[in-house]
């Protein structure tokens, strides 16, 4: 039976904003993800709701040191990473896109792999804050967002995956034909809905939020 979340208690819910950084979202960025720009109004509305209701908001940004010492296999998979064209620490590219930038003392976690939990202190932060439910938003649906959702589930959190506040990019032909972003997104949502998370819209999250 698929995971179901009947209500969200803001006191025990955290919204994770995955990699909404300039190197993915800005026009002409080295790892440009057009769906990420398209979802900005929806994500902004979700963040407004989260803050007003009292949910925690935590950001991630994917960053590698200029030396390449923490790139691992990404240097073989993604030329912009290998060439130091994107996702490089201490550059404007890893800063969160201004339209959805952190407010106040909201945390930004630097990560070096797809999952926001891998090699970071995210789990410690969530548990120390009494978080039981994680809401996944951001880019990309099938990589960083999905990996974060799965690790959250593995660690015992209830996971909401927001269908209209996540997005990805078109995939080139790697031997199986090109795959449009919308198809990658749709199939990933279908898989997650069965195996990992309660996939829902922003409106559903808002409707299911109880007064703290």
Q: Could you give the residue numbers annotated as active site?
A: 19, 111, 144
Q: Which helix (H) or strand (E) holds 23?
A: helix 22-25
**Pick from 184, 134, 118, 129: which is nearest to 17 by CA?**
134
| Dihedral angle computed from the Cα positions of residues 119, 122, 127 and 132, in that order, rounded to the nearest 10 degrees | -120
Alpha carbons 13 and 186: distance in angstroms, whole number: 25
Q: Counting Cβ atoms within 10 Å, is residue 9 exposed (0-12), middle (13-18) or buried (19+)?
A: middle
């Amino acid at each position: 039976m698929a995971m179901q979340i009947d209500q969200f208690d803001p006191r025990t819910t955290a919204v994770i904003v995955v990699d909404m950084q300039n190197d993915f979202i800005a026009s002409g960025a080295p790892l440009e993800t057009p769906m990420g720009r398209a979802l900005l109004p929806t994500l902004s509305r979700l963040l407004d709701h989260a803050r007003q209701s009292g949910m925690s908001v935590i950001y991630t940004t994917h960053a590698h040191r200029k030396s390449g010492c923490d790139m691992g296999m990404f240097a073989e998979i993604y030329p912009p990473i290998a060439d130091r064209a994107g996702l490089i620490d201490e550059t404007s590219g890893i800063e969160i896109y201004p339209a959805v930038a952190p407010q106040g003392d909201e945390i930004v976690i630097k990560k070096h792999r797809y999952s926001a939990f891998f090699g970071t202190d995210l789990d410690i932060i969530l548990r120390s804050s009494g978080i039981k439910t994680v809401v996944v938003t951001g880019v990309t649906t099938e990589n960083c967002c999905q990996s974060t959702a799965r690790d959250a589930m593995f660690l015992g959190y209830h996971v909401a995956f927001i269908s209209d506040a996540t997005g990805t990019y078109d995939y080139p032909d790697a031997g199986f034909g090109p795959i449009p972003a919308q198809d990658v997104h749709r199939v990933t949502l279908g898989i997650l809905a069965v195996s990992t998370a309660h996939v829902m819209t922003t409106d559903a999250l808002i409707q299911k939020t109880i007064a703290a």
